[in-house]
Amino acid sequence: MIIKNVQIFPQNTQIKNSAQNFDIYIGDTDGVIERIIESNIELGQVPDSFEEVIDVEGAAVIPSLYDHHIHLLSLKEAGNSLDFSDVRTEAEFKQIIASAKNTASSLRGIGYHESIFGALTKETLDELVPDIPFRVQHQTGALWVLNSKALTEINASQANIQLDDGCLLRGDELLRRDSLLLENNLLENNIVQSPSVNDKNARNNNLYNDLRQIFKELNQYGVMGATDATPGYGKSEVELFSNALIGNKQDFFGADFYLA
């Protein structure tokens, strides 16, 4: 492949004073850049060893990007959450919840701020959603508020955490990370029964599919690597990511991934 008429950024000392665009020669079989020269070929005059020519008409080419601080599991769950980031009124807040709660077995909200409906408590959420688990994350990411059903679901009383107001700050072990990791914390403390092999395989497959979609979207923005910077990851989290990612780099569009 030859990509014609490219502006290259950042410019090195050899090309920074050149007003001319460049042609990038990329191997058709290995995808490796073979050479970069000043644009000097016309369409139709392509060397036989290159099958395709793309004229980008002066568009810029930059090195791939790397996201050094990302929370993949939370990002994965964001698509399954009620997003209150752009909500400005109490009426709109209540309408979003009312529209979702009748068809859901549980609700997860993100992006909340006190300017919408004041400081949330367990009682506030119980009034809005009394029958199914409901939890809302403050837009800072440092606070979760749970209703009574959600507190029952995570067996908070057995974990000896005082949650009279339903509020969990970042330092609280049980909910400082995503619900997928919450299960691992409960397992480590023998609070719930260990899942079967089939359940574990299903969870790994779901995570694999979700992460693949995330990396596909990142790739479209030129992001070819990421570091998950979520604090407090332990053995179970490493195993969780390993089972989904190891040996599957090609499936994740060649992206590099690390746990901080």
* pLDDT (tens digit per residue) in 80-124: 899 999 999 999 999 999 999 989 999 999 999 999 999 999 999
Q: At which residue do the structure tokens 């979207």 appear? A: 217
180-218: b (≥16 Cβ within 10 Å) or e:
bbbbbbbeeeeeeeeeeeeeeeebbeebbebbbebbeeb
pLDDT tens per residue across span 64-79: 788 888 888 788 888 8
From the list 127, 122, 177, the residue with the least C-alpha distance to 146 is 122
3-state secondary structure of 36: strand
User: What is d(CA 8, CA 19) in angstroms, rounded to the nearest whole number?
Assistant: 11
User: What is d(CA 238, CA 236) in angstroms, rounded to the nearest whole number?
Assistant: 5
Given a cut of 70, whether residue 254 has pLDDT beyond it is no
* Predicted pLDDT at 14: 53
Query: Top-level CATH class of 75-188?
Result: alpha beta
**Average pLDDT, whole number, for the chain?**
75
* Predicted pLDDT at 177: 44
Question: Exposure of 41 by Cβ count < 10 A (0-12 exposed, 13-18 middle, 19+ buried)?
Answer: middle
Given a cut of 90, whether residue 191 has pLDDT beyond it is no
From the list 139, 142, 147, 148, the residue with the least C-alpha distance to 168 is 142
* Predicted pLDDT at 165: 79
Residues 6+ apart with CB under 8 A from 209: none
pLDDT tens per residue across span 171-190: 444 444 444 444 444 444 44
CATH 3.10.310.70 range(s) for the chain read 75-188
Tell me the whole-structure pTM to 2 decimals: 0.64
Percent of the chain scored above 70 by pLDDT? 65
Task: pLDDT band for 162, please (50, 70, 90 cuts).
Answer: low
Q: What is the mean pLDDT of residues 115-134?
A: 95
